[in-house]
Amino acid sequence: MKTTDTPKSQVDKFREAARELETDDSEERFDRLVKDVAKAPKPKDGDAEKK
C-alpha cells in the first residue's frame, strides 16, 4: 500500500531542522555569537611564518 505523503520541500526541511535546534531570531545574540566564533587569537612572536 502506497502512502500519499508529498515530499517536503527544501525550505520545509530547513524550518523543521531550525525548530529542532531551537534557533532564535535575536540579532544581538547572533552578533555576539559571530564575534565569539570569528575572534582569532593574536599570533605569538615566531608563530607566524615570515616570507
Please state the domain extents for the chain: 10-37
In this model, does residue 7 exceed pLDDT 60?
Answer: yes
Question: In the numeric block, which cell numbers belong to residue 46?
Answer: 615566531
pLDDT of residue 10: 92
Give every CB contact of residue 16 below 8 A, 6+ residues apart in sequence. Answer: 8
In this model, does residue 49 exceed pLDDT 80?
Answer: no
pLDDT of residue 3: 58
Length, in residues, of the chain = 51
**Highest mean pLDDT of the ranges 5-9, 12-16, 24-28, 44-48:** 12-16
